[in-house]
Structure formats: structure tokens, C-alpha cells
A = this chain, B = another copy of it.
Amino acid sequence: MRIECIAIGTELLTTRRLDTNSVWLGERLADLGLAFHRKTAVGDHREDLAELIREALQRSDLILTTGGLGPTFDDLTKELFAEILGAELVEDAAARVDMLAFYAARQRVPAQSNFKQVLIPMGAEPLRNPVGTAPGIWWPDPPGHPGARIVMLPGVPREMKRMWEEQVEPRLRPLAGRPTHTLRLVVAGVPESTLDERIREVRQAHSHLDWSILASLTQVELLVRSGETTALEAVRRDLKPVLGADLVSVGAGNLEDAVLQGLDAQGQTLAVAESMTGGLISARLTAIPGASRSFLGGVTVYSPEAKAALLGLPPDFLAKQGTVSEATTIALAEAAKAKLGATWGLAVTGNAGPGAEGGAPLGAVFLAVAGPGGTLSAGRAFHGDRPDVQLRGSGAALDFLRRQLNLVLNY
């Protein structure tokens, strides 16, 4: 079966907007033992999109599109498929009811333009959109293309994902090949290239599997795919000793999850004090449901006033130690721990640029963890622009704490 993905939106060609939908869809297809033959991004231009749709109908059995289902003038996906396939657009009563309900629930009235969204090509089925106003389209055996299938999904990732999981995947399952299983391991504190070398022997011993390494700014993911769960079990067994304490999690979890699980497992609590990371650590932790079980709170002490007022650091101490220093970071971690009566206090200071900050060089980051057994601190030097250094700093801090929590767990 030839499958292609079409991501629709001028922003995908002209701005820094990356097409992450097709990446997610590629992984869901892999779960079904299916794969894309190609992925195309095209703008909201009638001629370009129409040309691509005509080509795709000739060469592919399954066409997945994202985007271009909205209410605005430049949303053309459904209209062009219908036009090219010579199918009339008719209003779908259920879709209309869904849309009116969507707005009623928000005490709003749909704009006239919204009603274009409930038009469905004759012969196609609407896919309900439980989280938005744009229904998707499931179009099996479109006119002149028996056996082909067209799936149109909104470009908004949360709408697209939910509709795929609830409505598209069940429809595609009958076409599925042998499902591939994925072993996902998350590693922190090791550069991608070093990790690559460390796992080389294990990878060669299991070279018949599909391996990939994906580095992000705060962790590295190792993905191994196979049709056989036993094969993946063996890989996991072989990798564990090689990865040691750098292994953050096996499965879906990331650095944040590992930290919260480590705290939860021991019924312990955390308080955070951030300057350079400006709230990023708190935000990453509180993005996880249930964070409130172990995360008591945090302070973003972005000024000397804040360090004094919120954590009682004396101005003369700051004047002496500097706003970016190991001593100040230790003091912040201990003050946060004491102030909130938490088991652990985690603090970060640093200079993310662009200018110099408290005399510290660009990319300098200090970490401190105040815990039951005392306080540990460390310094790091990161490269990259401001957002990079802030993100790396927040990751280094979470990983620094995670390693202490594991020490405790291993007792």
C-alpha cells in the first residue's frame, strides 16, 4: 500500500513553522506496520495544492492530509478534493449540530464562515472533531479511485491526534501490516555521539532491528523498533548496564516524569528557586498531571529584590557572592527548601545571555540541590543562544536532582 502525507499551509513553506504532524503520523503508521512513501508540504495556494492532489490521487492508495480545514479564506483542502473528484459538497447535519454545540458550550455564536466547515463531499464521511470546529474527512473509494482512501485532518495537533486515535486508526487497522513495537529509552547527561559509541556493541549485536537516536537539548532518546517484543526485551536487558545512571526512563516518560516519580516513590516534596531558567523548571514539572503531589512550589528570583524578599537572601551576601555563583545557588536551594518545608530544594543561576550577567561568562550555569543528606552543587558551561541555554540549564538541573533521587532509591 502506497501512503503519502500532505501537510497544507503556507506557513510550512515560509516561516519557521515545522510540520510535526507528519512526524507523529509516521510513528502511528509504524505502530500499524505501515509507512509513508513520501511527505509533502504545500502552501495554501489553489493551483499548487490542486496539482499535488491530482498527482497524489494517481500514485497513492492512502492520502493523509493535515490542515486547510478551517473557516478562513485560505482553507481549501476539502473544497479542492471535492472539485477534482467531481463530488458535490453537502452540509452534514450531525457536523452542524456538533459545531453549534461547540459554540453553545462556550457561550459563543459561530461566525458565518464557520458553516463552511460542516460541508462534506458526497460519498465521504465526516470525522467528528471533539476538541475543535473543523470536522475531518474519511473518504473511502473516492470517485474514479476504487480502493483508495483519503483522510483529511485538521492542522491543529491536538485535534488531529485525538481524531486519529479515536476515528482514523480503527478504520485503518484492517489494512495494518504486522505491528511494530518500539522500545524507547531516555538518556540524559551524555552527548548523542558519546551515547552512539557506548551502545555500538549492543546495536551491532541486534543490528537486524531498526535503531534511531534522537537528540534534544535536554535528553537523548533511543528508539528501537521490531515486530518481536522479545527481541526488544533482549535489547533493553543488554542496554541497561551500558547506560547505567544515565538512563532516565524506559517507555513514555521524560526527565520531568522521572523526577516526579522519584519524589512520589518516597513521599518526598520539592521546592525550586530559579533565576536564569526563569520559571522553566517549575513549568516543566507542573506540565505533568499530579505534579502537585510532590511539587510544593517555586520562586523565580529574577532580581536581587526578589532573592531578598522571597527567600531572605541578604543584599550584602548577594553583593559579595554575586547573583550568578555557586555560593548564591547553594543559598537559594537551601532557602527554598526551608521556606516551603520541602524534602528537597533545587536551585539554578546562570547567564543565558545575550549580555554578561553578574560577571559570569555566557553559558555559565550553577546547580544546587539541598536534600535530606545535605547540599550538593555543580557548575556547567553550555553553548547556544538564550533559549538553548535556558532549556539546557533546566534539563541539567532536573537531571542533577534525578541522580540524587536515584541514589536514595538505590539504598
Contacting pair A41 B38 (CB below 8 A): yes
Contacts of A277 in B (CB 8 A): 283, 286
* A131, CB-defined interface residue at 8 Å: yes
* A93, CB-defined interface residue at 8 Å: no
Residue of A70, A72, A158, A299 with highest tally of chain B CB at under 10 A: A72
Contacting pair A214 B310 (CB below 8 A): no
* A208, CB-defined interface residue at 8 Å: no
Contacting pair A10 B212 (CB below 8 A): yes
Partner of A297, one of B42, B289, B301, B385: B301
Contacting pair B279 A298 (CB below 8 A): yes
Contacts of A36 in B (CB 8 A): 13
Contacting pair B297 A297 (CB below 8 A): no
Contacts of A291 in B (CB 8 A): 278, 302
Contacting pair B292 A302 (CB below 8 A): yes
Apart from the given pairs A15-B23, A297-B310, 14 other A-B contacts in the complex at a CB distance below 8 Å? A10-B210, A12-B39, A38-B40, A38-B43, A39-B40, A40-B40, A55-B55, A70-B193, A271-B306, A277-B283, A286-B300, A289-B386, A296-B306, A305-B341
* A410, CB-defined interface residue at 8 Å: no
Complex-state Cα separation, A277 to B377, whole angstroms: 28
Contacting pair B299 A295 (CB below 8 A): no
- The answer to whether A11 and B214 touch (CB under 8 A), given A40-B39, A286-B390, A306-B297, is yes
Contacting pair A18 B23 (CB below 8 A): yes
Complex-state Cα separation, A211 to B15, whole angstroms: 9
Contacting pair A306 B212 (CB below 8 A): no
Q: How many residues of A contact B (CB 8 A)?
A: 106
- The answer to whether A39 and B13 touch (CB under 8 A), given A111-B197, A302-B297, A309-B341, is yes
**In the complex, per-residue mask of A7-49: 1 if CB is within 8 Å of any chain B CB, else 0:** 0001111111111101100110010000111111111110010
**In the complex, per-residue mask of A375-399: 1 if CB is within 8 Å of any chain B CB, else 0:** 0000001011111101000000000
Partner of A158, one of B10, B278, B388: B388
Query: What are the nearest 8 A-B pairs in CB distance?
Result: A278-B286, A297-B306, A279-B282, A279-B279, A279-B283, A282-B300, A298-B300, A15-B212
Contacting pair B193 A113 (CB below 8 A): yes
Contacting pair A73 B196 (CB below 8 A): yes
Sampled A-B contacts (22; CB under 8 Å): A12-B39, A13-B26, A14-B30, A14-B225, A16-B27, A37-B45, A71-B196, A73-B196, A73-B203, A73-B211, A106-B383, A111-B194, A158-B385, A272-B300, A274-B279, A279-B282, A279-B283, A283-B283, A289-B355, A296-B302, A297-B303, A306-B340
Contacting pair A193 B111 (CB below 8 A): yes
Partner of A387, one of B22, B55, B287: B287
CB distance from A332 to the nearest CB of B (A): 12
* A59, CB-defined interface residue at 8 Å: yes
* A114, CB-defined interface residue at 8 Å: yes
CB distance from A409 to the nearest CB of B (A): 23
Contacting pair A299 B297 (CB below 8 A): yes
* A205, CB-defined interface residue at 8 Å: no
**In the complex, per-residue mask of A192-226: 1 if CB is within 8 Å of any chain B CB, else 0:** 11101100000100000011111000000101010
